[in-house]
């Protein structure tokens, strides 16, 4: 597939059944942890491998070398950089330990939520959530009703706060790796400011009422008892990891701006600057492992399992979604052309990406509609070239896809990886968290749904 016409021809030739493994993979991710948690957590690697093998083997038998080259290109050019960057951010954030903090009042918790939302765009929603969830829980242990602060922590820190940079959330990272400029996501600042302001106000006034019911004493003249010792001194251990984080971020920003030529590897064209970026980011993660004490990681509750799970599951996702992305990139001539006729306005892309993100996963949802937009406006064009044109000529569509994938990730526990992790840590600490439907009915629908309608009316009409 040497040019746009070849890319489009291959996408048009792919049959509709080639997307079945991708659908199976998505349904396994969505339903496995809910319907068969023991089976899923014990065998998710085998399940991922099954769907990946089904896709790769069947298409390779039908299309031969062309399909093999496509799968290999996706894994080398897209999956490998993605997992290196995700793994490094996870490792570095796990080496930073924050102790001390606030007093568990609504105002103090709101301040921590703001700090977490800002950090999420720098170190990723997973990194920020894992860094701050335990301090948040510790500072609220003396309170009876702690569920609300954890839920809004999921909303803001584990999801919406990651909207400003490709470091923030996997969907935006995938967009960056496919040609979206690093700082383009700063265009999402108005969307994030609106969402953050609305959610912080909703949290503060709701928790203030709960707080007063816990600590209000009529016999004391209507006074509210102070909620524990007031302290605002944070202590950071493992601060050297901030240097490693800076190195990784610097490499990501610099790589697209440096022209060092290209090399050919197994028939694939590779930018030397991108290969150097991956090496620098990988070394930053390795130095974090070598120069951070085991004690700090243990106190942070750091384990390798979450990133292993992400690596395995996303390997299956990248393989199974390859034919689906090729079909979408073929535009209206592909087998999914009907989707491009139905989803054709920014508001459509916002809600379609969002709904898919909520119940499946926000990274593949982003990719599906990102490729759909490219196929709609630039059918058959190489991804990087088309992405550059989309940014310049139809930015509102990319804004809709980006905000839909990031924001709607907060709508369910399965919308984004940190959601389930925060829930598990909270339950282990004795906080009663709502079930899957309880979370949606009690919090997501009444709080997030009106917010997303407001976002649509203001930004995507």
Are 124 and 185 members of one domain? Answer: yes
Q: Measure Cα distances from 140 to 84, 148, 375 in Å.
A: 35, 11, 49
Last residue of a domain, one of 224, 257, 291: 291
Are 161 and 151 members of one domain? Answer: yes
- Total tally of structural domains belonging to the chain: 3
Q: What is the DSSP string of 270-289?
A: EEHHHHHHHHHHHHHHHHHH
- Among candidates 237, 228, 238, 236, which has minimal Cα distance to 109? 228
Give a yes or no: residue 298 inside a domain.
Answer: no
At 195-223, the pLDDT tens digits run 999 999 999 999 999 888 877 555 545 55
- Among candidates 93, 157, 54, 106, which has minimal Cα distance to 289? 93
Are 426 and 362 members of one domain? Answer: no
Are 155 and 165 members of one domain? Answer: yes
Q: What is the pTM of this model?
A: 0.75
Per-residue pLDDT of the chain (461 residues; tens, 9 = 90+): 444 445 556 677 888 898 899 889 878 877 887 788 888 878 989 999 999 999 999 999 988 888 888 888 888 888 888 888 878 888 888 888 877 655 778 888 999 999 999 989 888 888 788 788 878 887 888 888 889 999 999 999 999 999 999 988 888 988 988 889 989 999 999 999 999 999 999 999 999 998 888 775 555 455 555 544 455 556 788 889 989 988 988 888 887 777 777 787 666 677 788 889 889 999 999 999 999 998 988 887 788 877 788 788 889 988 998 888 788 777 677 677 677 678 889 999 999 899 888 876 788 788 888 988 888 888 878 888 899 999 999 999 999 999 999 999 999 887 787 887 788 778 777 888 887 778 889 999 999 999 999 999 999 98
Give a yes or no: residue 307 inside a domain.
Answer: no
Give a yes or no: residue 460 inside a domain.
Answer: no
Give all strands (DSSP E) within 2-154, no chain letters.
97-100
Question: Whole domain around residue 222: which residue ranges?
Answer: 95-237+416-451
Give a yes or no: residue 340 inside a domain.
Answer: yes
Are 273 and 334 members of one domain? Answer: no
Give all strands (DSSP E) within 108-241, no chain letters.
216-217, 223-224, 234-237
Residues 352 and 367: their CA atoms lie apart, in Å, by 12
Are 350 and 404 members of one domain? Answer: yes
Are 100 and 233 members of one domain? Answer: yes
Give a yes or no: residue 171 inside a domain.
Answer: yes
Give a yes or no: residue 425 inside a domain.
Answer: yes
Q: What is the mean pLDDT of the chain?
A: 84
Q: Which residue shows structure tokens 């050297």?
A: 240
Q: Measure Cα distances from 86 to 91, 165, 166, 251 in Å.
A: 9, 13, 11, 14
Are 54 and 24 members of one domain? Answer: yes
Give a yes or no: residue 265 inside a domain.
Answer: yes
Are 257 and 134 members of one domain? Answer: no
Residues 13 and 6: their CA atoms lie apart, in Å, by 11
Give a yes or no: residue 296 inside a domain.
Answer: no
At 393-447, the pLDDT tens digits run 999 999 999 999 999 999 988 778 788 778 877 877 788 888 777 888 999 999 9
Judge contact between 415 and 399, C-beta under 8 A: no
Residues 49 and 259: their CA atoms lie apart, in Å, by 37
Are 229 and 249 members of one domain? Answer: no
Are 179 and 121 members of one domain? Answer: yes
| Neighbouring C-beta atoms of residue 5, cutoff 10 Å | 11
Q: State how beta strands 234-237 and 97-100 pair.
A: antiparallel
- So what's the pLDDT on residue 449? 96
Are 279 and 359 members of one domain? Answer: no
């Amino acid at each position: 597939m040497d040019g746009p016409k070849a890319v489009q021809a291959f996408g048009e030739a792919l049959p509709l059944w080639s997307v079945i493994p991708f659908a199976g993979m998505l349904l396994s991710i969505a339903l496995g942890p809910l319907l068969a948690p023991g089976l899923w957590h014990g065998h998710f690697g085998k399940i991922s491998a099954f769907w990946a093998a089904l896709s790769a083997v069947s298409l390779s038998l039908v299309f031969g070398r062309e399909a093999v080259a496509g799968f290999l290109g996706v894994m080398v050019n897209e999956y490998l950089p993605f997992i290196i960057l995700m793994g490094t951010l996870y490792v570095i954030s796990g080496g930073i330990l924050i102790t001390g903090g606030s007093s568990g009042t609504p105002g103090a918790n709101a301040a921590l939520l703001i700090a977490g939302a800002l950090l999420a765009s720098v170190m990723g929603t997973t990194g920020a959530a894992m860094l701050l969830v335990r301090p948040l829980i510790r500072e609220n242990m003396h309170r009876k009703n702690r569920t609300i602060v954890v839920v809004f922590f999921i909303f803001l820190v584990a999801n919406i706060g990651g909207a400003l940079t490709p470091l923030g959330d996997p969907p935006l990272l995938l967009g960056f790796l496919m040609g979206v400029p690093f700082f383009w996501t700063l265009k999402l600042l108005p969307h994030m400011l609106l969402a953050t302001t609305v959610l912080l106000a909703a949290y503060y006034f709701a928790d203030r009422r709960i707080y007063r019911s816990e600590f209000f004493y009529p016999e004391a003249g209507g006074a509210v008892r102070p909620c524990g010792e007031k302290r605002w001194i944070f202590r950071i251990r493992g601060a050297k990891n901030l240097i490693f984080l800076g190195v990784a971020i610097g490499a990501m920003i610099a790589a697209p701006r440096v022209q060092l030529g290209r090399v050919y590897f197994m028939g694939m064209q590779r930018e030397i600057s991108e290969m150097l970026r991956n090496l620098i980011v990988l070394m930053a993660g390795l130095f974090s492992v070598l120069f951070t004490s085991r004690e700090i990681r243990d106190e942070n509750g750091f384990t390798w399992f979450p990133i292993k799970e992400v690596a395995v599951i996303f390997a299956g996702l990248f393989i199974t979604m390859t034919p689906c992305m090729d079909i979408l990139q073929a535009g209206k001539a592909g087998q999914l052309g009907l989707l491009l006729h139905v989803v054709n306005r920014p508001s459509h892309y916002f809600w379609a990406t969002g709904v898919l993100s909520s119940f499946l996963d926000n990274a593949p949802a982003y990719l599906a509609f990102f490729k759909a937009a490219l196929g709609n406006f630039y059918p058959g064009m190489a991804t990087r070239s088309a992405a550059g044109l989309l940014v310049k000529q139809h930015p509102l569509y990319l804004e809709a896809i980006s905000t839909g994938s990031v924001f709607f990730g907060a709508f369910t526990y399965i919308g984004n990886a940190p959601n389930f992790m925060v829930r598990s840590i909270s339950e282990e600490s004795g906080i009663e968290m709502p079930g899957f439907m309880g979370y949606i009915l009690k919090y997501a629908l009444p709080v997030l749904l009106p917010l997303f309608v407001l976002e649509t009316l203001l930004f995507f009409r």
